[in-house]
Structure formats: structure tokens, C-alpha cells
Amino acid sequence: MLIVNNLVKKYGKQNAVDDISFELKGGEVVGLLGPNGAGKSTTMKCIVGLLRKSSGEITIGDHHHLSLEAKKMFSYIPETPYVYDMLTVWEHFQFVAQAYHVEDWKEKATELMELFELDDKKDKLGRDLSKGMRQKVSICCALIPDPQVLFFDEPMIGLDPKAIKNTRQIFRKLKEEGKTILVSTHLIDSVESIADRIMILKNGKILGNDTISNLKKQFVQEEGSTLEDLFLELTKDE
């Protein structure tokens, strides 16, 4: 569903993403973990076309990642949620539904608003929303077109505990529906229960890419070790 081959992104002389290759099969949920500055956001932005890659090939569902066909297949939830100042919450949903030609969107938008406790914010303007509310609107907007592939960049940051729980619940539901999800996060335990596989990135390179149990077998010797132990082992400075 997603193929990334030899992706390089340079900022000046620095390789923020340094020749990485990976695949996501249809229906896979993959966690992208890494310390600050590892290159997680840059990788995602190159995939969704917000940053121009320096080299490499990316396809989404067999389409070039910048093609309209590919763009129709995915949603991207950025780390910093962007909302339109002068649109209300409801108008955001309407706008997304029109842009993606979604017909029966009102019921879905209503359900999502209830789930994220945005019902009383329906008529509030984007400019008057808090950071967490913007994040919730951004997640709802991404779900309205019912995309096959979802890219979440640090989705839990800025959310309150209830919204974190709801987002986890949404991940589980999306997984059951067979969606393909790449989620970058610092909150290691937030992906542990849902990720089929994790990729650990450091200095723009993939240090590990496997199921959590295989990676633990490979890199951590002690019984009962956690994903956090694995993360710390793989990303420790030599």
C-alpha cells in the first residue's frame, strides 16, 4: 500500500532522512518511533508531499505519491493542527466533505463530534479553538473522507486523557476496518497495543523495523523488558 525506496531529505548539507526504505502492506498499523530530531515528521511530510524529497521513490497504492489518485487515498494529520480561522467546526467538516465529494458526511461528522466532545463547539470559529480542540477537529476532518491510508504525526500531543483514549479507540476501529496506518509518536505505550510493527528512526536512519516481540528478542536480552527498554537500547548514544 505504501512503498518508500531510498528516501533522502537534505536540509542544506544535513541528511534529515538518510536513505530509508520501507513498506506498509494494506491493513498494517505501523508505529514510527524515534527521539527528537530523528526525522519522523520530515519522513511523513515527504510522503504526503508537503516537503520536496531530495531523492528516492514513494508510491501509495501503486500510484506516485504526488498524483491525484494517491492523494484521494490518504489523510494526513499534522503534528501542529491547522484550522481555518474563519470557518466554524461544522464548516470545516462541510468543506472537507465537499472537497472529497463525500455525500453522507453529516451523520459521520455528528458521531465524530460526539466522540470528541466537540458538539457544543459546532458553531465556534477555528480561530477561537484551543490547541487540543484544533487537534480534534483535524482528526475528524481526516476521517470524514474515509481514507484507505492514514498518516498521523504525533496525534496524541495536546490532547487531554479522554481524547487520547478516544483516539486509541479510533485507531482500533480503523485497524478493524482494514485501514493502513503510519503513526509517529513519542508516547511509546500509545502504539504498543495497536501496532503490528514498529520502526525506530534515529539520525534519519531506520535502526529497527519489525514486530515488537522480534525486536525485543533481537536487541533486549532481559525477560520482561518493555517497549521503552527496547527504544532506549536502540537509540542510546554509542
The grid coordinates listed for 137 are 477537529
Count of positions on this chain that bind ligand ATP (CB under 6 A):
11
C-alpha to C-alpha distance for 143 and 33, rounded to whole angstroms: 23
d(CA 19, CA 24): 17
Sign of the C-alpha dihedral computed for residues 112, 113, 116 and 117 taken in this order: negative
| End-to-end Cα distance, the chain | 35
**Contacts to ligand ATP from residues 137-196, by CB under 6 A:** 186
| Contact with ligand ATP (CB under 6 A) among 41, 138, 166, 190 | 41
Name the β-bridge partners of 6: none
Q: How far is CA 40 from CA 36, 52, 182, 183, in A?
A: 9, 15, 11, 9
Choose the binding region for ligand ATP from 38-46, 53-61, 124-132, 164-172 (rule: CB under 6 A): 38-46
- Among 29-37, 86-94, 137-145, 217-225, which window interacts with ligand ATP (CB under 6 A)? 29-37
| CB of residue 70 to ligand ATP, shortest distance in Å | 21
β-pairing verdict for 197-202 and 149-153: unpaired
Does residue 135 bind ligand ATP (CB under 6 A)? no
Tell me whether residue 43 or residue 148 sits nearer to ligand ATP (CB atom): 43
Task: By CB under 6 A, tell whether 50 contacts ligand ATP.
Answer: no
Shortest distance, position 208 Cβ to ligand ATP, whole Å: 15
Name which position in 13, 36, 103, 221 contacts ligand ATP (CB under 6 A). Answer: 36
Using rule CB under 6 A, residue 16 touches ligand ATP: yes
213 binds ligand ATP (CB under 6 A): no
Joined grid coordinates for residue 200: 525506530
Q: Which three cell numbers stand for residue 166?
A: 478516544
Q: Which stretch binds ligand ATP (CB under 6 A): 34-42, 99-107, 118-126, 192-200?
A: 34-42
Opening angle at CA 73, ends 71 and 74, nearest 5: 75
Q: Which of 28, 30, 39, 78 binds ligand ATP (CB under 6 A)?
A: 39
What are the CA-CA distances from residue 6 to residues 52, 57, 205, 209, 230 (Å)?
14, 7, 11, 15, 25
State how far the Cα of 24 lies from the Cα of 1, in Å rounded to an integer: 6
In the complex, the smallest distance separating the C-beta of residue 34 from ligand ATP, rounded to whole angstroms, is 5
Would you say 208 and 199 are in contact if contact means Cβ atoms under 8 Å apart?
A: yes
Residue 234 is a binding residue for ligand ATP (CB under 6 A) = no
Residue 209 binds to ligand ATP (criterion: CB under 6 A): no
121, three cell numbers: 463547539
Q: Is 206 in the site for ligand ATP (CB under 6 A)?
A: no
Residues near ligand ATP (CB under 6 A): 11, 16, 34, 36-42, 186
